[in-house]
Structure 1
Amino acid sequence: MTDAAASAAIPAPRSAAIPADGVPPEQRKVLTALVLAQVFSGAGLAAGITVGALLAQDMLGTAGLAGLPSALFTIGSAAAAVVVGRLSQRSGRRAGLAVGYAVGAAGALGVVLAAVADSVPLLFIALFVYGAGTATNLQARYAGADLAPPHRKARAVSTVLVATTLGAVAGPNLVTVTGSVAAAWGIPRLAGPFGLAALAYGAAALVLVLLLRPDPLLLARRLGAADEQVAAAGTPAGLPAPPAAGLPAGVRVGAAVMVVTQAVMVAVMTMTPVHLQHHGHGTAAIGVVIAVHVAAMYLPSPLSGWLVDRNGPRVVSALAALTLLGAGLVAGLAPAGAVWALALGLALLGLGWSLGLVAGTTLLSRDLPLRSRARVQGNVDVLVAIAGAGGGALSGVVVAGASYTTLALGGGVLALCLLPLVLGRRGH
């Protein structure tokens, strides 16, 4: 083969197909599909957060196990993270995310059936399956970063996260409406939001099947393969190709940040509705507080992304730890009747989670090789989900044995453990 023929056989380098700003034109189509799907999935995500603990308390007859629903669907989310990650690695993001949302919809429908039948075993199984929607909602953020250049990955992640806001804020405020509709059909009121979740997750799956084209991970692999062949063609004969680098320390730091922020956020969030109910507040007040919290989780995402791209993920991870400490102080020391103070504490809790999630996700999306990216991201999300399950399960025990104040302050102290990790290893 002549040199000219060999050059013609080499795929065009990535830079030849990408505008000067470094963003592939396909990235805009990908983000549009992901944003629309996240709007729907946000409503499905909010159901378990808002009324899961209350439904379990009614069916189990005790507040001590009110954190169990959060633990169950978080454990389910851990199992689903592995499946979604590996399916995405093998068949692309579209297949992995669509299947995850479809399974989450089936779980939400199962919760409704369990409430109608007053079956605790069915409730536990359905909550476990429902967790697939939570895992998929979070893994969608990785799809947003697959085609983004390194200097814009955090903002791509934040674009996907902020899209969850509309559905996630609307969901808790529809508790009363969906409860009334459920009651009119002979279904327990607290199961109403899970009916909404089934419809919302199903709609998200349909959107991805129809609109997530091209598949961002598969396209990123093709572009990466073209770059590698171009680089190999420029390597002098007789010299070996540079070895593949191992997983950098940044991946482990990013995983630790997401694990701690998830555990603290889930623990405090899970018991806040129960804390409010024990002090005489109804579902309307609970819905407002949780809506503020969920809005603070997702609405500041563009700010989180900008901060990470500008200052680096380690600095923003430290800011996340300090914000979670502030959340624990405000929520833990708030007077029981001061709904506004609890709303402020939960807003800080959501903001701290947002900062930590965007920073940690950016480290994983930036530093992981394409050949193992989705699989490793899924495995890391398993750890994140397990941390959330532990936080949710222990939260009821801590409140029953001590107090909500102890839970909130303890969460803030735990978040401070991140500071030595993210600030003590500042090397590249």
Structure 2
Amino acid sequence: MSQGAGKALEDRAAWLQPYLDSPEKQQQLYRRTLMIVVLSQIFGGAGLAAGITVGALLAQDMLGTDSFAGLPAGLFTLGSAVAALIVGRLSQRYGRRFGLAAGFLTGGIGAIGVVLSAVTNNVFLLFASLFVYGAGTATNLQARYAGTDLASSTQRATAVSIAMVSTTFGAVAGPNMVQVMGRFALSIGVPALAGPFILAATAFIFAGLVLLIFLRPDPLLVAQAIAAEKRNGTDNSVVNNPHTLSVNNRGIMVGATIMVLTQMVMIAIMTMTPVHMRHHGHGLGQVGMVIGIHVAAMYLPSLLTGILVDKIGRTMMAIASGATLLAAGIMGAIVPADSMIGLVIALALLGLGWNFGLISGTAIIIDATTPSTRARTQGSVDVLIALSGASGGALSGMIMAQTSFGTLSLAGGFLSLLLIPVVIWSRRK
């Protein structure tokens, strides 16, 4: 071994050892990590709201048709699938700090590209930029895992919920700044619908810098070192027991299925809501308000949801997710298109059902993985989540163009019922 490599190992041992020796320092780092994640999520939430709120409207204006209005959501969720895989691999190898910072900064570059595409009216640049912008969306979702690396089994869902509830501040502010950012964009010679992407670029870049500068020591690297030390003092036959591996694999499959279904249903209905509202005379401010309430329902109840998932169980909250999404689909189908109250309730239920599914599914995934494989597995699962969102977003425009928003809502609601047999299967021994 070279002198340089030996010194690097000694330096690493020097900063790691206090955390290996002291559970109290581990909890201090756990709390500090949550604070950094919270700050980054506030910025990240503002960044992801742009694509949700005006992505479909921007494509509608540039293409002149509704049939492909769901394509932007499909593209940035497809981009988020690729990014989720890369961010997961980078995090597993180099730690959360490097992986998450790279993802957010890439998303910021994509948002800048969307603004340039609107200025030049270049549809191909728009689609390519939306794909890259998806990296910010994927990273915003994966950041929820960073706070769980040093959490105990009874803190995991709560840790996820703290990260997600902090996203609310930016995610709710984003849609409600649509008009403000639109006026700002016009004042500098940029189309109004590109205004929210100026906010997204700034927000994603700030989120990336916060993590890059402050997420030290890296929680995943510390968790991996702690797990390695515990393995050295235990019987590896217990760790590698086929029954244990089977239970863990089942947990990964169940958690992934719950999150995939909830993501598909939520993206499909949410993507077409702005188009549906514009068709029936609602203004951009009203669209922003409905989407803002929807995003609030996605994230704001997280703290309570996390406590419930830790206290009453993952499977019960997964069932609650399916029932809530069904109620959202039925509500979206039966309320009059000109009813703001009805649309608000439907989209709030849609966000709440997604919240239940994401937090319960995330907790199941964390329970079923170890630090040595956790980030890579989480990244792979988030790929499936993103792909399901991409297919839901891309198909939603075609379904609505051929049928109606009501049909789309009902289809999504009934699809969510598949969560129940999945949960029943997961409880079988």
TM category (shorter chain) comes to over 0.9
Alignment partner, residue 403 of structure 1: 404
Alignment partner, residue 267 of structure 1: 268
Q: Does residue 18 in structure 1 map to residue 29 in structure 2?
A: no
Alignment partner, residue 6 of structure 1: none
Measured in 2, the distance between the counterparts of 1:212 and 1:48 equals 27
99, 105, 108: which one aligns with 2:108: 105
Alignment partner, residue 204 of structure 1: 207
RMSD: 1.7
185, 196, 202: which one aligns with 1:193: 196
Alignment partner, residue 227 of structure 1: 230
Superposition deviation, residue 15 in structure 1: 8.9
1:157 aligned partner, one-letter code:
V
Cα contact 1:85–1:377 (8 A) shared by 2:
yes
1:24 aligned partner, one-letter code:
Q
Q: Does residue 310 in structure 1 map to residue 311 in structure 2?
A: yes
Runs of 5+ consecutive residues of structure 1 not aligned to the other structure: 1-10
| CA-to-aligned-CA distance 1:213-242 (integer Å, 9 cap, x gap) | 12111010111122222335xx9xxxx675
Structure showing the higher helix proportion among its residues: 2
Alignment partner, residue 391 of structure 1: 392
Alignment partner, residue 35 of structure 1: 38
Cα contact 2:70–2:395 (8 A) shared by 1:
yes
| CA-to-aligned-CA distance 1:320-361 (integer Å, 9 cap, x gap) | 000000001111111111011101100000000000000000
Superposition deviation, residue 150 in structure 1: 0.4
Superposition deviation, residue 318 in structure 1: 0.5
Measured in 1, the distance between the counterparts of 2:210 and 2:385 equals 26
1:50-199 equivalences under 5 Å are 50-199=53-202
Identity, % of aligned positions: 54
Runs of 4+ in 1 over 4 A off after TM superposition: 11-16
Q: Does residue 288 in structure 1 map to residue 285 in structure 2?
A: no
Superposition deviation, residue 12 in structure 1: 8.5
Superposition deviation, residue 110 in structure 1: 0.1
Q: Does residue 243 in structure 1 map to residue 246 in structure 2?
A: no
Measured in 2, the distance between the counterparts of 1:423 and 1:284 equals 43
| CA-to-aligned-CA distance 1:224-272 (integer Å, 9 cap, x gap) | 122222335xx9xxxx675254243111000000000000000000000
Q: Does residue 376 in structure 1 map to residue 377 in structure 2?
A: yes
Alignment: residue pair count:
410
Cα contact 1:14–1:227 (8 A) shared by 2:
no
Measured in 1, the distance between the counterparts of 2:112 and 2:118 equals 10
Q: Structure 1's 260 and 109: CA in aligned 2 closer, same or farther, altered over 3 A? A: same
Runs of 5+ consecutive residues of structure 2 not aligned to the other structure: 1-15
2:306 aligned partner, one-letter code:
G
2:282 aligned partner, one-letter code:
H
Measured in 1, the distance between the counterparts of 2:250 and 2:390 equals 25
Cα contact 2:36–2:215 (8 A) shared by 1:
yes
Alignment partner, residue 419 of structure 1: 420
Q: Does residue 346 in structure 1 map to residue 347 in structure 2?
A: yes
| CA-to-aligned-CA distance 1:61-97 (integer Å, 9 cap, x gap) | 0011100000000000000001000000000000000
